[in-house]
């Protein structure tokens, strides 16, 4: 299959991301990657709507990404843009307003169900892991997707949960820093939501060779643990974080105010308000999976979107 140039845009609950790449149907060759904090899901869990301010931020960012993507067009290689909206867009009664707004910039945004999000994330995370039976975890701002299967094939089991770092923060972690009682509630909520998935997994006799974690919470944990003053995706990708290291990062962050977390080396200040909830989610997933660690992965839904688009 001849290579195609594809730009994938993912508008999530916290971030909006772009990946421009060449793809021959089985391999993704990255040309440009960008991520910006848009906080589309701010207040969506309580209000059920995207705020006017968040809509404006998202439209402006997607318009900028479309312009960046088109700059990679050449006479011999046009760029095709694909875009998806995930948890915040699924939950918001006015998501069509965002779809209509970005269409004016030549971008067709698809609001995809959680199951579709899980399939695309699994395809992306499978890159380079063929032959292993993996659990892929995608902790987002509004939802978490869990997928189990043999890398490179369709997942055998997957589910999208309405458990995300912004949603958990807004529901449980109201104080700054959060109280022990609030943290306990957040942990209990995660266990309650995720446990049935792992019970069914074991009932079906499905093993897990490795827990592979994509998205910003997991990669940020590596960045913090390794004290990265400048984020290094090559160091992050494939880095294994033990349960003990995860607990150590949690213990440090949970006792800080938001202002103090903003100063932590390796943590982007814009992620400081939701990182504690994100680490809570990862902690419970590692425990329930029984893997004792997770492997951070830079290949995620964006790569999955590009692979999918190249085959259509």
Residue 152 sits in a domain whose CATH number is 3.30.420.150
Domain co-membership, 31 together with 134: no
Backbone region of residue 164 per phi and psi (left: phi > 0; alpha: psi in -120 to 50; beta: other values) = beta
**pTM of the predicted structure, to 2 decimals:** 0.85
Per-block average pLDDT, block size 10, for the chain (312 residues)? 87 92 86 92 89 95 97 90 92 94 95 89 84 91 92 88 94 95 98 97 92 93 94 90 96 96 94 96 97 92 91 80
pLDDT of residue 213: 95
pLDDT of residue 45: 84
Q: Kindly list the strands in the beta sheet with 109-111, ordered across the sheet, starting from the edge strand earlier in the chain.
A: 28-37, 15-23, 4-11, 79-85, 109-111
CA triple 238-18-90, angle to 5 deg: 95
| Residue that is last in its domain, among 82, 112, 142 | 112
Burial of 72 (0-12, 13-18, 19+ CB in 10 A): middle
CA triple 196-85-46, angle to 5 deg: 65
119 within some domain? no
Domain co-membership, 146 together with 252: yes
Domain co-membership, 149 together with 265: yes
| CATH classification at residue 13 | 3.30.420.40
Domain co-membership, 224 together with 99: no
Can you tell me the distance from the alpha carbon of 132 to that of 120, in angstroms, rounded to the nearest whole number?
18
Domain co-membership, 53 together with 194: no
Sign of CA dihedral 279, 284, 287, 291: negative
Query: How many structural domains is the chain composed of?
Result: 2
* Beta bridge partners of residue 247, listed in sequence order: none
Domain co-membership, 211 together with 288: yes
Tokens found for residue 161: 């949960």
pLDDT of residue 1: 58
Can you tell me the distance from the alpha carbon of 298 to that of 256, in angstroms, rounded to the nearest whole number?
27
Closest C-alpha to 118, from 248, 19, 215, 13: 215
* Beta bridge partners of residue 134, listed in sequence order: 149, 210
218 within some domain? yes
Cis preceding linkage at 177, omega within 30:
yes
User: Could you list the residue range(s) of the whole structural domain that residue 14 is in?
Assistant: 4-112
Can you tell me the distance from the alpha carbon of 19 to that of 302, in angstroms, rounded to the nearest whole number?
6
Closest C-alpha to 41, from 241, 274, 307: 274
């Amino acid at each position: 299959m001849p290579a195609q140039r594809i730009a994938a845009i993912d508008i999530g609950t916290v971030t909006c991301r772009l990946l421009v790449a060449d793809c021959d149907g089985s391999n993704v060759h990255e040309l440009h990657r960008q991520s910006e904090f848009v906080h589309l899901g701010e207040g969506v869990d309580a209000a059920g709507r995207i705020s006017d301010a968040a809509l404006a931020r998202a439209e402006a960012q997607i318009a900028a990404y479309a312009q960046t993507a088109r700059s990679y067009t050449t006479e011999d290689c046009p760029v095709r843009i694909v875009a998806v909206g995930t948890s915040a867009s699924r939950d918001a009664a006015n998501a069509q307003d965002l779809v209509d707004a970005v269409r004016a910039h030549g971008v067709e945004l698809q609001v995809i169900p959680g199951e579709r999000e899980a399939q695309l994330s699994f395809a992306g995370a499978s890159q380079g892991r063929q032959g292993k039976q993996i659990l892929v975890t995608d902790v987002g701002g509004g939802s978490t997707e869990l997928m189990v299967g043999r890398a490179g094939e369709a997942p055998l089991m997957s589910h999208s949960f309405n458990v995300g770092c912004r949603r958990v923060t807004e529901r449980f972690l109201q104080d700054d820093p959060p109280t022990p009682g609030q943290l306990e509630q957040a942990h209990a909520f995660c266990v309650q939501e995720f446990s049935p998935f792992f019970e069914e997994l074991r009932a079906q006799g499905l093993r897990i060779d490795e827990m592979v974690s994509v998205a910003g919470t997991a990669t940020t944990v590596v960045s913090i643990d390794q004290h990265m003053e400048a984020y290094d995706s090559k160091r992050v990708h494939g880095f294994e974080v033990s349960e003990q290291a995860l607990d150590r990062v949690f213990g440090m962050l949970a006792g800080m105010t938001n202002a103090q977390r903003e100063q932590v080396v390796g943590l982007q200040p814009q992620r400081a308000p939701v990182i504690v909830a994100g680490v809570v989610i990862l902690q419970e997933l590692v425990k329930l999976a029984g893997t004792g660690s997770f492997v951070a992965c830079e290949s995620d839904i964006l790569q999955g979107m590009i692979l999918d688009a190249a085959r259509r």
